[in-house]
């Protein structure tokens, strides 16, 4: 029978962390057993009472759905939905009913999915768990119907959905009706999403076929267990089609993360805690917490406003009188890169700032995320091609309020520099940023971007994947993004590569950062056919924060103080933090329409 063949093909696939060839670790019958991956002797009860992980090799065993729920739900909170649901046999497929009856008896399950409601780390959530013991958790009419009702009920109750998937795909015995479940569940998830609710998809070993091609890949957040096999076509099918052996680790969770399809890989023991973090970030309670913070913020903001009014300078933001910086300090700040003080003439300032903005000990993107935000959860991938290390992003709290934060990252060591491509993002980086911005819009989170890039990567593969299109789409989407957007240029603001994260309600710059159409070297080489005239170019390009503020390109400039490095960034982040708080406060008083109008006008004037 074709179907059985397919499942046989799936078996080695349903393997383990570490690759498809390693064999499938099942907890065998009896008390003392052998792990079928490492062949180590294990005490089955101990493994089953814990996390179904081999204590010898760390291999993940498949988990029955009831145990899965107890690993994730707060004790005693799970209430099952639609426990009894009559199963159909749309093809009148011979032996199917008998097979189902047999499996019910053997597993004690009614079908391949359990749905219900529970609390996870205190947050009320709809939950669905697939069980691979029941026909490889393939999705037939009953599975589709249970999932759909679960999602519909979650929409009604305005709660999040968590689905722990594992599946061989659609259920062949039910034919086209099974295929329709993919569309039905997707439609329910679309409504749930349109209601502004969170769906977290957790992929476990194996998640294949029609399930991958529907609900498994539709999460706002997609997590996976280490080593899980995830794919559309099974490895055997691919190998037969292409008549080649697949490389080790192909279609593993790690492979998917690298190719941009997962937000993160989460260890089984950590799953509950991680889910709890996401649920908290998206919960209403967190709005209540934010309200308290808002009150504190208001009083702080009043102080800031008062002080900046007194100083009569809108350009220099003062947090308190002992922490005021003046532009004068800047003249001392670039000693390292600017040569002898007497050489620093007024006309050289722009070039000095260019060098300062590129200085190796200057803070990088992740430094700002660490300094200004708490509980940062990094999200990976563009869901299309890859995960670009030159753009990092995720969700975090800014003074009690959830925000989406995105930062261009240069790295601090040579190894990191290379991994981050020296801060030159590829199309997948911009597409990841776009995905995170759209996610922020759905959940009404402000977006805060940190820009520091010599420019978008100019390479063959970047062109093949549409570097121009990726940047263009960001500009297009950002102009209409219905949530506050703030961009801070912290180092180099190179061309379209910077603008792709800077179509914002306000753009701020650090005193020695620069923002320009291209590098001074490039400018000199194009206009004067002489790259060595970069210094001269820097001075005519008007690329300094001070110049750009005069032109109305940016709103604020933040003084850096003397020799601004990673070790001494606190005074600057303190100023930035206070100003960000003030910005978010102002933005919260605006409607989306007002904000979009202002954003349009901000760029319309040029």
Using CB under 5 A, pick the residue from 14, 16, 18, 37 that binds Zn ion.
37
Closest CB 337 distance from Zn ion, rounded Å: 55
Distance CA 81, CA 145 (A): 12
Does residue number 15 form part of the binding site for Zn ion (CB under 5 A)?
A: no
Using CB under 5 A, pick the residue from 35, 129, 265, 271 that binds Zn ion.
35
Q: What are the two backbone dihedrals, phi and then psi, of residue 411, each rounded to the nearest 5 degrees? A: 90, 160
Question: 46-59 burial by CB neighbour count: b if 16+ within 10 A, else e?
Answer: ebeeeebbbeebbb
Does residue number 53 form part of the binding site for Zn ion (CB under 5 A)?
A: no
For Zn ion, the closer CB: 37 or 392 = 37
Reduced to 3 states, what is the DSSP secondary structure of residue 539?
A: helix
All residues at 6 or more sequence positions from 224 whose CB lies less than 8 Å from its CB, including other chains? 202, 203, 204, 230, 253, 256, 257, 262, 264, 265, 266
Residues that bind Zn ion (rule: CB under 5 A) add up to a total of: 8
Binding to Zn ion by CB under 5 A, coded x per residue (else -) over 511-550, reads ----------------------------------------
Distance CA 330, CA 342 (A): 15
For Zn ion, the closer CB: 37 or 192 = 37
For residue 289, the tally of other CB atoms under 10 A from its CB is 16
Burial (CB count within 10 angstroms: exposed 0-12, middle 13-18, buried 19+), residue 406? buried
> Are 521 and 570 contacting, i.e. CB atoms less than 8 angstroms apart?
no
For Zn ion, the closer CB: 13 or 38 = 38
* Backbone region of residue 471 per phi and psi (left: phi > 0; alpha: psi in -120 to 50; beta: other values): alpha
Closest CB 22 distance from Zn ion, rounded Å: 10
Residues within window 233-292 making contact with Zn ion, judged by CB under 5 A: none
Residues composing the chain: 606
For Zn ion, the closer CB: 57 or 395 = 57
Distance CA 315, CA 459 (A): 38
With contacts defined by CB under 5 A, name the span among 48-56, 60-68, 259-267, 451-459 that binds Zn ion: 48-56
Does residue number 59 form part of the binding site for Zn ion (CB under 5 A)?
A: yes
Residues within window 87-106 making contact with Zn ion, judged by CB under 5 A: none
Closest CB 235 distance from Zn ion, rounded Å: 21
Using CB under 5 A, pick the residue from 13, 38, 182, 501 that binds Zn ion.
38
Peptide bond into 325 cis (omega under 30): no
All residues at 6 or more sequence positions from 409 whose CB lies less than 8 Å from its CB, including other chains? 364, 365, 366, 389, 390, 391, 392, 420, 423, 452
With contacts defined by CB under 5 A, name the span among 52-60, 333-341, 534-542, 571-579 that binds Zn ion: 52-60
Residues within window 214-243 making contact with Zn ion, judged by CB under 5 A: none
For residue 469, the tally of other CB atoms under 10 A from its CB is 12
Does residue number 57 form part of the binding site for Zn ion (CB under 5 A)?
A: yes
Closest CB 50 distance from Zn ion, rounded Å: 13
Closest CB 561 distance from Zn ion, rounded Å: 55
For Zn ion, the closer CB: 59 or 455 = 59
With contacts defined by CB under 5 A, name the span among 31-39, 350-358, 365-373, 420-428 that binds Zn ion: 31-39
Using CB under 5 A, pick the residue from 9, 11, 33, 56 that binds Zn ion.
56
Closest CB 205 distance from Zn ion, rounded Å: 14
Does residue number 22 form part of the binding site for Zn ion (CB under 5 A)?
A: no
Question: 3-34 burial by CB neighbour count: b if 16+ within 10 A, else e?
Answer: beebbebbebbbbbbbbbebbbbebeeeeebe
Using CB under 5 A, pick the residue from 22, 54, 182, 437 that binds Zn ion.
54
Question: 80-106 burial by CB neighbour count: b if 16+ within 10 A, else e?
Answer: ebbeebebeeeeebeebeeebeebeee
Count of H helices and E strands in the chain? 25, 18
> Are 555 and 508 contacting, i.e. CB atoms less than 8 angstroms apart?
yes
Residues within window 116-145 making contact with Zn ion, judged by CB under 5 A: none
Closest CB 39 distance from Zn ion, rounded Å: 7
Which residues would be at the binding site for Zn ion (CB under 5 A)?
Answer: 35, 37-38, 40, 54, 56-57, 59
């Amino acid at each position: 029978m074709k179907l059985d063949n397919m499942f046989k093909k799936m078996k080695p696939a349903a393997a383990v962390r570490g690759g498809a060839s390693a064999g499938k670790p099942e907890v065998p019958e009896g008390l003392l057993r052998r792990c079928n991956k490492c062949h180590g002797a294990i005490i089955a009860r101990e493994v089953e009472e814990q996390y179904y992980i081999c204590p010898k090799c760390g291999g993940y065993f498949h988990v029955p759905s009831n145990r899965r729920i107890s690993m994730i739900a707060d004790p005693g909170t799970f209430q099952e939905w639609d426990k009894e649901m009559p199963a159909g046999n749309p093809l009148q497929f011979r032996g199917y009913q008998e097979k189902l009856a047999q499996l019910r008896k053997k597993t004690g399950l009614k079908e391949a999915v359990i749905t219900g409601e529970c609390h996870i780390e205190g947050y009320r959530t709809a939950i669905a768990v697939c069980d691979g013991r029941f026909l490889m958790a393939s999705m037939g009419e009953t599975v589709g119907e249970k999932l759909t009702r679960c999602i519909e009920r979650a929409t009604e109750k305005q709660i999040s959905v968590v689905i722990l998937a594992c599946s061989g795909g659609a259920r062949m015995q039910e034919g086209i009706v099974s295929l329709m479940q993919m569309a039905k569940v997707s439609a329910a998830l679309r409504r749930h999403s349109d209601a502004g609710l969170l769906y977290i998809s957790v992929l476990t070993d194996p998640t294949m076929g029609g399930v991958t091609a529907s609900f498994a890949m539709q999460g706002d957040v997609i997590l996976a267990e280490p080593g899980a096999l995830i794919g559309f076509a099974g490895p055997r099918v691919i190998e037969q089609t292409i008549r080649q052996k697949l490389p080790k680790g192909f279609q593993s969770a790690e492979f998917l993360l690298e190719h941009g399809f997962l937000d993160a890989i989460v260890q089984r023991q950590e799953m509950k805690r991680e889910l709890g973090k996401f649920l908290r970030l998206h919960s209403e309670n967190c709005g209540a917490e934010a309200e308290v913070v808002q009150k504190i913020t208001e009083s702080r903001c009043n102080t800031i406003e008062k002080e900046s009014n007194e100083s009569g300078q809108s350009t220099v933001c003062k947090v308190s009188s002992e922490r005021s910086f003046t532009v004068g300090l800047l003249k001392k700040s670039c000693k390292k890169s600017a040569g002898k003080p007497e050489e620093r003439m007024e006309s050289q300032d722009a070039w000095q700032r260019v060098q300062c903005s590129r200085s190796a000990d200057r803070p990088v993107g992740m430094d700002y995320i660490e300094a200004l935000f708490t509980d940062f959860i990094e999200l990976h991938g563009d869901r299309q091609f890859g995960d670009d290390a030159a753009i990092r992003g995720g969700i975090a709290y800014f003074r009690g309020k959830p925000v989406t934060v995105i930062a261009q990252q240069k790295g601090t060591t040579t190894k990191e520099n290379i991994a981050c491509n020296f801060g030159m993002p590829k199309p997948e980086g911009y597409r990841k940023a776009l995905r995170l911005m759209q996610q922020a819009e759905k959940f009404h989170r402000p977006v805060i971007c940190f820009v520091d890039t010599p420019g978008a990567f100019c390479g063959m593969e970047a062109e093949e994947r549409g570097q121009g299109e990726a940047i263009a789409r960001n500009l297009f989407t950002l102009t209409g993004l219905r949530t506050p957007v703030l961009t801070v240029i912290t180092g180099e603001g190179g061309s379209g590569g910077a603008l792709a994260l800077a179509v914002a309600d306000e753009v701020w710059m650090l005193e020695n950062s620069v923002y320009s159409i291209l590098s001074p070297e490039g400018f000199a080489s194009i206009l004067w056919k002489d790259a060595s005239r970069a210094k001269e170019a820097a001075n005519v390009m008007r690329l300094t924060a001070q110049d750009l503020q005069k032109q109305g390109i940016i709103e604020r400039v933040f003084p850096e103080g003397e020799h601004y490095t990673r070790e001494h960034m606190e005074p600057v982040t303190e100023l930035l933090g206070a100003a960000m708080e003030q910005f978010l406060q102002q933005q919260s008083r605006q409607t989306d329409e007002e904000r979009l109008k202002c954003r349009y006008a901000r760029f319309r004037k040029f």
